[in-house]
Structure 1
Amino acid sequence: MNDQSGDVLTFGIEEEFFVVDRDGRPAPAAEVVEHAAATGGDNGELQHELIQSQAEIATDVCRTRDEALARLRELRDDLARAARRRNRRLLPAGAPPVPEEGLPDVTRHPRYERIGAHFGATARTSLTCGCHVHVAIPDKEAGVRVLGRVRPWLPALLTVTANSAIADGYDTGYRSWRYQQWARWPSAGPPPRFASLDEYESVVDAWLRAGAILDRGMVYWDVRLSEKQPTIEFRVSDVAATPEEAVLLGVLARGLVATALADDGPPPDLSNEVLRAQLWRASRDGISGCCPHPRSGDLAPAKAVLADLIELTSAALDSAGDREFAQEATARLCAEGSGADRQLRRFAERRRGEDVVDLLAGNP
């Protein structure tokens, strides 16, 4: 994802999904992924994930939001068709609304099996699906500087695709329960503010020596330097209920990175203790509630914080032709609610997780 188109940064989006049976319970995804990979198009990748009931899509390099949207739609459709052929459904939810019967199984792959054995129940009960956005950067040194500048806006990004209010058949009290669940990993959460790339690498090395991660791919910070590509990778968000919401997240993340690259000033002085508290609040309230404002630390309506994010990144959004889309998509999201808000409305009707699955994955 390191190609450039003029001054506009390239980006890509990865989405994780559950494969569920007709009753909405997580079901093995291997055959679904393999069939979709064999019969789908060439606009990205289809992959297995840690837990057997998960599948992942990844777009190739995108220069425009229209490219990203088209590829997400195609990849989702490929997986959904493959699932239907096996009497299953593709579920875009950050946590399963209907619980799996028994302890989830780890995918049969040497790396995943090693992770499962080493981390025990943390690995086998991490039944969550996220959305990751990669944005091109010039090099890792620049990436570390970007990390320090985008950290304060992680809570706002978390509200955009919050989509895990209902989990295991009950109302969790959070718009993003996935974020709370994922925080159990020792390498998860917001990254510290690093003074240099050497400091970043020293932390990763210490985790490896302590066995808190088994390889560099297990650096699970909410935003990190990608190990495989010259990108910043945002990992803070739930999988979006719709491709359009995923692309809104991608556009905002790209705008933040471009704005950070153009900023020569020092990064904000924000401790991880405070940022963790702010992320907790964002995961609780989502788009329909309050979010700590990065400039003051005080609570503000999430929609007002997102409006300020768009204003902050307006030059980058204009350069990419994304400002109008970001404003309209955010206004629509605030009016209609995120996936989590739609989950809660459906769940309130009969208090059945199966109804939430039908909402997000379609009727069986």
Structure 2
Amino acid sequence: MRPGPTLGVEEEFLLVDGSGRLAAAGPEISEQVEDLDGQVEHELRRCQVESATAVCDTIEEVVEGLHALRDRLAAKAAEQGLRLLPSGTALMADDRPPRFTPDVRYHRMAREFGGIAQASLTCACHVHVSIPDAATGLRISNHIRPWLPVLLALTANSPFHNGDDTAYASWRHVLWTRWPSAGAPPHFDSVDAYESTVEALTTVGAAMDRGMLYWDIRLSAHQPTVEVRIADVLPTPTEAALLAAIVRGLAAQALDADPVAKPAPEVLRAWLWRSARDGLTGRCVHPCTGDLVPAWQAVNDLVASLELGDDAEFVEQALAGVRASGNGAQRQRAAHDKSEQMTDVIDALAWSG
């Protein structure tokens, strides 16, 4: 029995050379990866690539699709002496500013947003869940919204930036929220309210168009999906699929339940800051109570509340793996602690298939 709506997962990666420095080969590598069940696309910077699975019914299809895409990208990168790096932020400092991908839209973004665009080099994981209509998508968005800090804590994978430990588990989240259209979405009472907000953002230029609505949850501009964008890119396909299964469980739950909380935007922003800082090693806000609790308690309570259907066994096993080895941020720091060399972190993270 199919456990719920269909899924698609997008992943963004960095390309680095043998010394760990960013490599401006994204467009060339993207164009060489063909004939896949999924797609590979250009990203904002030449040192990035993005992949997207085909529409998937099962979590097994998600894992297989992500593996295949990563393997092909890593193989093409290796042909040029490069490595595919699933990290939310750049690990090594570089005196050369990463170049923008030659694209009219990307260069317009650079002109319009200046230093924000120049400093925005981050990699995320986005989960698409199929919806029948916009109203259903907003119901799902409202339901997932208070759980965003828990999802962020689970998926944090960017403690280092340009050679330094930021003291955050997800520095990507901090960097990303500088965009004027980024952050947690409002709680929307209607499709009209959503459309009015979109119009206000695009009218003032905070977003050039719907594709630049950078909320942590949004209605897709091109597909009949709601897109959850809270996570750093994950170290492995299994962890990305774990996120997808939990998001699908929340989407199914939203059809039968009201949101557990409706935090004001400034309050939810503070909740997310705490999760970006602590990740899984500290505390995050439990949306059911508003109290700070150990992050794992909030994760366990979230998963226990979901009817996961055929995804249940996969989620249990994948969560056990994260409990045993830590999330991406914990594993990055553990790799660095061995010799205090960023190259050890890159060696631990780089995808080799």
Superposition map of 1:341-360 within 5 A: 341-360=330-349
Q: Structure 1 200/310 Cα, relative in aligned 2: closer, same or farther at 3 Å?
A: same
Q: Is the 8 A contact 1:32 1:86 kept in 2?
A: no
Equivalent position of 2:299 in the other structure: 306
- Count of aligned positions: 351
After TM superposition, the structure 1 stretch with the greater mean CA deviation from structure 2, 95-104 or 291-300, is: 95-104
Q: Structure 1 127/362 Cα, relative in aligned 2: closer, same or farther at 3 Å?
A: same
Alignment partners' CA distance in 1, 2:331 and 2:139 = 37
Which amino acid is 2:317 matched to? E
Equivalent position of 2:36 in the other structure: 42
Q: Structure 1 328/288 Cα, relative in aligned 2: closer, same or farther at 3 Å?
A: farther
The offset of 1:6, in angstroms, is: 5.5
Q: Percent identity?
A: 47
Which amino acid is 2:68 matched to? E
The offset of 1:36, in angstroms, is: 1.9
The offset of 1:227, in angstroms, is: 0.8
Alignment partners' CA distance in 1, 2:262 and 2:63 = 35
Alignment partners' CA distance in 1, 2:351 and 2:157 = 16
Alignment partners' CA distance in 2, 1:34 and 1:355 = 30
Q: Is the 8 A contact 2:150 2:299 kept in 1?
A: yes
Superposition map of 1:136-147 within 5 A: 136-147=130-141
The offset of 1:301, in angstroms, is: 1.4
DSSP-derived class of the 2:94 partner:
coil
Of 247, 258, 263, the residue aligned with 1:270 is 263
Alignment partners' CA distance in 1, 2:14 and 2:245 = 25
Superposition map of 1:1-364 within 5 A: 8-28=4-24, 29-37=26-34, 41-263=35-257, 265=258, 268-313=261-306, 315=307, 317-318=308-309, 321-361=310-350
DSSP-derived class of the 1:70 partner:
helix
DSSP-derived class of the 2:110 partner:
helix
Give the TM-score normalised by structure 2. Answer: 0.96
Q: Structure 1 336/198 Cα, relative in aligned 2: closer, same or farther at 3 Å?
A: same
Alignment partners' CA distance in 1, 2:259 and 2:163 = 46
Give the TM-score normalised by structure 1. Answer: 0.93
Q: Is the 8 A contact 1:10 1:61 kept in 2?
A: yes
The offset of 1:335, in angstroms, is: 2.4
DSSP-derived class of the 1:8 partner:
coil
Structure 2 segments unaligned to the other structure (5+ residues): none
Q: Is the 8 A contact 1:148 1:267 kept in 2?
A: no
After TM superposition, the structure 1 stretch with the greater mean CA deviation from structure 2, 328-337 or 69-78, is: 328-337
Q: Structure 1 359/270 Cα, relative in aligned 2: closer, same or farther at 3 Å?
A: same
Structure 1 segments unaligned to the other structure (5+ residues): none
Q: Is the 8 A contact 1:104 1:125 kept in 2?
A: no
Q: Is the 8 A contact 1:26 1:99 kept in 2?
A: no
After TM superposition, the structure 1 stretch with the greater mean CA deviation from structure 2, 135-144 or 64-73, is: 135-144
Alignment partners' CA distance in 1, 2:61 and 2:192 = 36
